[in-house]
Structure 1
Amino acid sequence: MFTDLNALPHRHVLTLPTEPSAVRVARETAERALTEWGIGLRHPAVDPALLIVSELVTNSVRHAAVLSPQVTVVYAAAPDRVAFAVHDRHPHRPRLDGPGLDTGTGGLATVMELTLGLGGSAAVHADDDGGGKVIWITLPL
């Protein structure tokens, strides 16, 4: 599921109950991981990255908890990029582009605006069994 992220030299995986406190824990974990990997919290990509992680975990908490008791966040980095993957077991795969952008409460629109504004990329991939999905975000540093 996270093959591309596994290729990056720095990785951290966090699995949490799909409940509101997961958002804060996921963000704090991102801050700690980035700092440990030598990416300063004042780097211009860090605040947008933290907001992106928060929005994606919030979406899992709001929309997937009924079918997904857990959310998994994978954090990864290389000298030139940082990446995040947020996985839940709800089968709905939101659109991240074009006129069909699945905005829900606007969180995904914010994620895409930040991601594209930084020259990053985003993708949604279904689990092999179709019962869940992972949203991948990669940002240049």
Structure 2
Amino acid sequence: MLQRRHVLTLPAAPLSVALARRTGEYVYTSWGVAPGDTVLDRALLILSELVANSVRHAAGVSPSLDVVYATGGGVLAFAVYDRHPHRPDLLRAAAAGGGLAMVAEVTAECGGTAAVHPDPGTGGKGIWVTLPLEPA
């Protein structure tokens, strides 16, 4: 169960990539994840790519995006929601290469999961990633 959660709404603009990453680093370290932790570094890499994809591909339909940061039950989790109706197939994207392939590859290397979920409230989608935290 994810006990902690923080939501950040950002404009669908390039500057949001760095802001989402810095916020993630701040939020997770304030929740006890060690700065420089391998899982945190990989999570921030994946998060940056997901925000960049939303900015690049959804900004025309989605002037803002939501980033959800969460942790609990031994996992670090996050999601990026935008209002664009296209839901990418992560398995197909992994085979095709590009940014989502990196997301799938790094997530798998960490033993995590990535999934695309429809957002009925906006007609868009969210891409959720969970990564196991190494025991302290």
| TM-score, normalised via structure 2 length | 0.92
Q: Measured at CA, do residues 104 and 67 of structure 1 come closer, stay the same or move farther in structure 2, by a change above 3 Å?
A: farther
1:8-45 deviations in Å (ceiling 9; x for gaps) = 11111000010000000000000000110000122220
Candidates 118, 121, 132, aligned match of 2:124: 132
Candidates 84, 94, 115, aligned match of 1:123: 115
Indicate conservation of the 8 Å contact 1:81/1:138, yes or no. yes
Match of 1:54 in 2: 48
1:42-69 deviations in Å (ceiling 9; x for gaps) = 2220111000110000000000000000
Match of 2:28 in 1: 34
Q: Tell me which stretches of 4 or more aligned residues in structure 1 moved more than 6 Å.
A: 102-105
Candidates 108, 113, 116, aligned match of 2:100: 108
SS in 1 for 2:61: coil
Q: Specify every segment of 5 or more residues in structure 1 that has no aligned partner in the other structure, as ranges.
A: 1-6
Q: d(CA) in 1 for partners of 2:26 and 2:41? A: 13
Candidates 10, 24, 28, aligned match of 1:16: 10
Match of 2:72 in 1: 78
Q: Specify every segment of 5 or more residues in structure 2 that has no aligned partner in the other structure, as ranges.
A: none
* 100-109 or 27-36, larger mean C-alpha shift: 100-109
Percent sequence identity is: 56
Report the count of equivalent residues. Answer: 133
RMSD over equivalenced CA pairs, Å: 1.7
